[in-house]
Amino acid sequence: MIRKAVIPAAGFGTRFLPASKSQPKEMLPIVDTPAIQYVVEEAVRSGITDILMVIGKGKRAIEEHFDRNFELEMELGEKGKEAELESIRRISSLADIHFIWQKELNGLGDAIYCARHHIGNEPFAVLLGDTLVESSLPVTEQLINIFDRYQESVVALEEVEKSKVSRYGVVAGSQMAKDVYLIDDFVEKPSIEDAPSNLAIAGRYVLTPDIFDYIKQTARGKNNEIQLTDAMRLLVGNRAMYGYRFDGRRYDIGNKIDFIKTNISYALMREDMRTELIAFLKDVIADSGR
């Protein structure tokens, strides 16, 4: 059973400057809710009860968001704002949420390594704090189902356009079952000609705890950081690891255009906004063509 999840959210967010200079990109709102709350809700809907968030300098707002705010609760109570009161109380009771500080930003692999004592010796999920996935069955639950079948690590895969493979880490592997791949290797940002597939790593993982040993052995790689993908390459050299082409749509809110797209998509899913937003978009598009 997978009970624990790690949400790395310590990164600088250089692709989202200047907005991310003094506030975490993970706290940027998607409609009316910080991005990272959707990530926590996905974990909870997938059966996770214990979440460790890896945070760093300038990320205190994340801690505060998941803590209770008694003054605000009292204020809302006195004003009879019951719906708002319920919505903010719910946040702090979503799961057992813990925080750890990544003292130096040495990359995603290093951020995950910070979780080793908290995780102990059990398999766990990883959800990137700046990546949202819209799907009917939460993508972490989809990965847990594959883990239950094979009892080995699983990484979420997304099919990307061939012409864009060089932006992603892609996998080499063989198909085992519908949407399930046995992974041979990972290739970081390949050229179109060298890409072994167009299946990209998509920000959700279920990992066996020996990943910590492999991270420890991982030398600094791209950007002089300890990359999780490099540690996973060591892992696949020694034991099986699977990729799962999940059903859903991924949004990397850490880049500006995806952030805009995410807001539009999520607002279109809201009954209270949909009609007005469609009318507005039609209007703006018509105007921009003039």
Number of residues that bind ligand UTP (CB under 6 A): 21
Give CA–CA dist 247/262, Å, rounded: 17
Q: Does 39 bind ligand UTP (CB under 6 A)?
A: no
Contact 127, 138 (CB under 8 A): no
By CB under 6 A, what part of segment 192-221 binds ligand UTP? none
Contact 206, 124 (CB under 8 A): yes
User: Which 8-state DSSP code applies to residue 189?
Assistant: S
C-beta of 54 vs 235, nearer to ligand UTP: 54
Piece of the chain touching ligand UTP by CB under 6 A; list 9-17, 84-92, 93-101, 214-222: 9-17
Q: Does 128 bind ligand UTP (CB under 6 A)?
A: yes
The residue number whose beta carbon is nearest to ligand UTP equals 11
Q: Does 102 bind ligand UTP (CB under 6 A)?
A: yes
Give CA–CA dist 231/112, Å, rounded: 11
The residue within the footprint of ligand UTP, chosen from 12, 88, 184, 277 (CB under 6 A), is 12
The residue within the footprint of ligand UTP, chosen from 105, 176, 268, 277 (CB under 6 A), is 105
C-beta of 37 vs 102, nearer to ligand UTP: 102
User: Which residue is listed with tokens 């807001």?
Assistant: 263
Rounded to the nearest 10 degrees, how much is the dihedral formed by the CA atoms of 77, 80, 83, 85?
Answer: -10
Query: Strand, coil or helix: what is 136?
Result: coil
C-beta of 85 vs 128, nearer to ligand UTP: 128
CB atoms within 10 A of CB 72: 13
Q: Does 8 bind ligand UTP (CB under 6 A)?
A: yes
87: nearest Cα among 32, 47, 133, 125: 32
Rounded to the nearest 10 degrees, how much is the dihedral formed by the CA atoms of 205, 209, 215, 217?
Answer: -150
CB atoms within 10 A of CB 107: 26
Residue type, 156: A
Binding mask 236-255 for ligand UTP (x = CB under 6 A): ------------------x-
By CB under 6 A, what part of segment 42-71 binds ligand UTP? 54
C-beta of 16 vs 251, nearer to ligand UTP: 16
The residue within the footprint of ligand UTP, chosen from 15, 116, 220, 261 (CB under 6 A), is 15
Q: Which residues bind ligand UTP (CB under 6 A)?
A: 8-16, 54, 102, 105-108, 110-111, 128-130, 254
